[in-house]
Structure formats: C-alpha cells, structure tokens
Structure 1
C-alpha cells in the first residue's frame, strides 16, 4: 500500500502545474478531481471484488471521513493486533487499475473507504453483504469545511469566493456531487443490517459510545481498556497533532478545526435561511434528517 501513498503524493505535486479549469471533470454526471480519480480509475472500480469481511467506510466529503479513518485504524489494530497505519486515506476511487491488483491480494480485513454516492459504489460490496459504516455531518458545517478544503488543496480548483462556493454546494456542482443526493440515497438503505449510519456530531459528543457501537457493528471485540485506548487516541486534537506523520503535508489541510457550529462564522442570515429551506424540502421527515438533529446544530 506504500506505493499507493507515494503515487498520491506525486499527484499533489503535479497539481501545482495544472490549470484550475482542468482539475475537475464529469463522469456519470458527477464532478471528480481529475488527478486523484481519473476516468480509468472509476471504470476499473466497477469490477472491484469486495469481500464480506472488508471494513468499508463511506462519507460525503468533509463529513468526518479522515477522523473516522483514524478511529477505525485504531479499532482494527486493537482488535486484531495488526497495524493498520497508512499515510493516505483508503479511498477506492484513488486506487487505479494497478493499485486495485495490489488491494486484491491484501490480507483481510481490508480497510477501504470512499466518498462516492452509494449508487456508484461497486456492486460487489452490496452483493457480498460487506459491512458499510456511513458518517454524515450537518450540511452547514460540511459546506464550511469543504470551502476551506478546496481553498487549500492543490488538486482542486481554487474557490472564487465564499458566495460562489455556497451556490455551487447548494446546486451539487462540487466534487462527488450533491450532499442532499447522497443523504437521500443512504436514507433508502437505513434498514439494511449491513449499513450503519452515524453522525459527526454524535461522535463528537460521545466518542466512547460511538467506538463501542462501531466495533460491535464490524464484529470487533474490544475490552473496556481497549475501547478507552481507542477513544483517548481518537480525539480530533490528537488526530490533528499526529497528522503530519499520517498525512504528510496535507495534514493541516485535512484536519482544520473539527468544530460543531463553525458555520455561524461564515453564513449570512440569507444563506442560513436558504440552507434551512433546502434541508426541510429535501430531508424533512426522513430518518437521516432526524438523525442529523438539524434544529439543534443549524438553527
């Protein structure tokens, strides 16, 4: 897997010589970063062979994916005794045909992840009944985090302004597509026993309980001491401190604030109302909408 990490770092370097207008492209109607997940990667993914014991993490961008990567790596290490550390997040859309061959021979349990819409995830993950953990975050904080991420990530186009990014996010014209489309698609899978949906806010409030539930979902048996070890090492601040070794130069880009409610420092009253209306229209009355506890975190 180290070759995959090295390849990813080289793509970040290449991005500095690519014009902003060439950094994104559209595949199956969705925008993706060209350097990190080119068309050949996404085509190759359709034939990816999942395993029943894969540990699969899914999140819309900036919903807590990298934080949960760290939590799950610690859970796997405590439960199996095998180190699950790696420099890059295990996004399957970053792998490419050659990397997928490497992944195919990796020992179980393989730790994999994606930002892709559930309908774009390789069909074998559903056919094999792979356990899938999905993490969501309230859309206002997600938008703010995504805005700063795009502003500081060389593989993505620079953001023209806060206002322009707000409009792009609301219309779904951002990498990996619409937040609301992702949420509604996972809403349809919430009765699937192989899918577990958690929220960033709940995990921030009680990470220890989150670790307990997530470990049980994947079938990992942790003692109380092991759960405490995972929890103490998995705070956002702890992850940020170790991000230079885990994510290299991208550490400070990926781990920015990790706060609940930072949206209040960015949204205008008009933008707040627009998001409130969109949430009510798209997710009002849904189970995933209820789970996000929108009124508490966004009003």
Structure 2
C-alpha cells in the first residue's frame, strides 16, 4: 500500500500538470494523486503532488503565495500573452525606444501591491462550467472579470534591449491567483509597446522550494513528505494527547482548548508525530475541519 504524503516535483517544460500526475500515478502505482496549482506546459518549476490521503491537504496548499522567475518581452504582443501564441502586434523602433528604463520602473511600480488584474483569456478559469482556454481555442470570445491580487515583489534582475524588443528577467512574489502572463501583457500595454511572457519558472509555493523537488524521472525513488510535516509547515502545529486525538477523530470538540491554538487553524499532531487532521477555533473550543485516516508512524 502506498503511504500518504506530498511530493515536490520540478516540472519540465512541454508537460502539462496532468502529465506529471499521470507519470506519478504510474511510478507510485496508485490513482489517488492530485496536484496543487496548475503550471502551463511552457512553464517549469515547482508542482506539489498529494498522494493518497494527503490529497485532502491540497485544499490548504493551493492558496499559498508563490515566487516566479520569468522573462517578459516588451515590444511584441501575442493572443495568449505568452510565447506559445500568435503575434498580434509589434512596436516599431521609435515607439520602443520611448520605453526607457525609468518608464519601465514606473510601470512596474504601478503593478506592485494590491492590484486589479484581468486573467489571460487562455487561463484555466471556468466560465459556465468550461475552462476559458478551451473556449478560446474554439474561437469563443471570453470576457473574464478582473480580480484583486497582491504582487508583493516585482523586481527586474536583468534586461536586454535591441531595436526589436526589450527582454526583462524578473522575480515576482505574489498571491495565489496572480497571472504572470497578465503582468507581462499589462506592463507592455501601459508602456504602449505590448508585451508577453517568454519564460516562466515557479520556484516557491508557501514554505516549499523547488530546490527540494525531484525531477519527473526520479518519482519512483523519491520519498514522500509526511502529511504532518506538510500540514505543520503550512498551518502551524497543535499538539494533542491520545485522548484528544481520539475525540477529534470522532468529531468531538476540545472544550476550552482554543488558547492553545496560535492562529485560527492548525495541524493537530499526536504524540507519535502523526497528523490527526486540521483544526480551527470555535469560540473557546477547538474542532476538526478535516480528519486524516490514522497513519502508521513513519
């Protein structure tokens, strides 16, 4: 039987997130694997896989903030806002030259902090039950609503310029739901030259870093991170006694235990280091909002 846990994978370019899940299912011999946070085929980097009972933890992972390394090309627009789309516009040399480093810096500053962003048309957002990218591929005009996101860091670490384009290598720290392609598109639009994304790599999801991830060729030989370790890293730790663990698994509240809870929610971990479930405060009590099947100590 495959143990429950979370696997960090470094997704290569050219594969979908579902391709990685399928590869993991074959490598581990189980169908019960899911992922948190889709990466486009062009993108590379960190993908988190939940295995067996740990798939239930993905709900708490998907909303974590993220870090991306990307390359934005200013001067050229595409219909997908990335390099996989068809070119829809190109700025001439005179217009491009007006996109000075100072104007680029100001444009980036305006897109840092809490911003309103319209996702790319080819995003995975559902419209009337269907993915926006499927509708776009069928030629259906998709009008997605703007959403509030937070870009806490948007730094240029290198730039290259010629008469045809300006390439910016950037690092972005952002909230879940931020589209880096849309940042590229909107930066180019604001400068009047157009823009799209030519490279994207996700290097961090919450406390998890791509430096700890396995390649897709190493999945069969990679150890899973235990559910307790993952849940504690994401939510913090709430230690419980054997009696409390039993009560939580039976759906009972822990009366008066709320002062022991550092935040609003935490990972309840028993004396053997096993994850009992995710708990939250209710008044002065603590109750379970998600229980895991009791695991064998690892």
TM-score range, shorter chain: under 0.3
Q: Quick check: which one's strand share is greater?
A: 2
Q: Give the structure-1-normalised TM-score.
A: 0.23
Larger Rg: 2
**Higher helix proportion (structure 1 or 2):** 1
Normalised TM-score (structure 2)? 0.23
